[in-house]
Structure 1
């Protein structure tokens, strides 16, 4: 019985890990400081380098200090969290913050 429970727990763990990896978005981009979140800005963001379309902007959660440099080119993988971005925008847009799974300087 214990073996069955352990196997079931292992299966659930593996399936949940795969789901998180599938939801990750990996981009080439650069870091930007948009201003203090307390003053209706979004703090540190990852701006996708994409010249063919509109660049996506990812509001970051807990960017490491070593990457807190505006204009810093990076390769990063992020996933959407349930934390919403506080925005007092004229248009009611719901945006979410993104957590970093991996990040490297270019």
Structure 2
């Protein structure tokens, strides 16, 4: 979903907090670039270099969540993006009748789904 959202809203990047296929206590984050793909090694190394340049956490510029939202620097995606994504997927269907009477069971398996 984040890959779609990054491209749809024209974000410079996106971050998802996830434990991937592991239990939640192993949460970390995955970073996506403006093309919707996970960071490629060249860009990831530049990000890691910037993080490694930080000598003290107090030197990191911070901003209140509400201020970041007001300035358009933070966008927490929700149901509206889900709905747009679902409509986009439906528009790609080659047969309108293909989803009739279909039953699906789904589990994200700690984020891998």
Shared topology, TM-score over 0.5? no
More strand, by proportion: 1
More helix, by proportion: 2
Q: TM-score, normalised by structure 2?
A: 0.21
Q: TM-score, normalised by structure 1?
A: 0.21
